Chain A
Amino acid sequence: MKKIILLAALAIGFTQLNAQKQFGTRNAKVSFIATNDEDVKAVNNEVASRLSDNGQMSFSLLVKGFKFEYAEMQEKFNNDYAESNKFPRAEFKGNISNIKDINFTKDGSYKAIVKGTLTLHGVTKPLTVNGLITVKAGKVSATGKFPIVMKDFNIDASAVTEKVNADINAVYQ
């Protein structure tokens, strides 16, 4: 009898593990704009992102994928500031700390507090983002905004800006 109960418990445990839902996209959008010069802005539409209904969240992007309106700025950004040959990727890994408030099976907009780390220019720093998870007809999307202070990531862009505002928009499949 004990064995049966144990087996049943294990079986339930496994189904719950399997029931964990993953959402993903290879084409999330991340953009940024300099706080003091709106001509300095760029967008990357090839951001890989994963979100699990247990709250785990990740974003990974290629720095060379940022497109500027002006080619000269794009070149300077890659060569002088972000050093994209040396540091080709930027990454965020984190967890939604209030995952209990989010129902992935019910339509709605849910506030999400995402705590994690951002790795950029070879430097990893803790980051908390107040984002929004939207569920609509089974489709899940996530948005969030946060500032990035250049010197926190050892980027010397003082000739252009000390800070940019980043904007994230992921539509999961």
Chain B
Amino acid sequence: MKKWTKIILTLVLVGAVTGGIIVYRIFTKPHRDVTTENAIAIKAQALFEAFKNDEAAANAKYLDKAIEIEGEVLDQSTNQDGQLVVNFKTDDAFFVINCTFKTNPGELKPGTTIRFKGICTGYIPDANVVINEGVLVP
């Protein structure tokens, strides 16, 4: 075999292996599991105030982080994909902390105080702070 044929074959092989590894990683990398992460503990009202007072600072502190929130359940509903959603009360009647469960915690009655651990995706002014992919903390 000529020398350059060997080089080309080696390059093709290296390329194929690298490509294979990249594709393998894309399709097998697991999603974040919030239950194994250390969370920032905060009350629903305090989280709302942090975002209302300074969104940029609150984003730096809470965005994409695991949050363990404690608060009073305002209402419970189901989203279009069948996941359970709980809104936590704040002192602003139009503003809640909107929390989506990845595993169904069963019935949560309005007025009860619960703790929920999930990932904070941010703040929508005049509406809510969103935390999703969460679980009930016993």
Binding site for B on A (CB under 8 A): 26-27, 29, 43, 45-46, 48, 60-62, 64-65, 67, 70-74, 85, 88-89, 169, 171
Interface residue from A46, A72, A89 paired with B100 (Cβ < 8 Å):
A46
Q: Which of B77-120 contact A (CB under 8 A)?
A: 77, 79-81, 83, 85, 87, 96, 98, 100
Binding site for A on B (CB under 8 A): 25-27, 29-32, 59, 63-64, 77, 79-81, 83, 85, 87, 96, 98, 100, 121-125, 127-128, 130, 132-133
The answer to whether B132 and A46 have CB atoms under 8 Å apart is yes
Closest 9 CB pairs of A and B: A64-B121, A48-B127, A62-B122, A65-B121, A62-B121, A45-B79, A72-B29, A72-B26, A71-B31
Known: A27-B77, A27-B98, A71-B32. A65 touches B27 (CB 8 A): no
The answer to whether B80 and A26 have CB atoms under 8 Å apart is no
Nearest B residue to A64 by beta-carbon distance? B121
Q: Which residues from B are CB-within-8-Å of A61?
A: 124
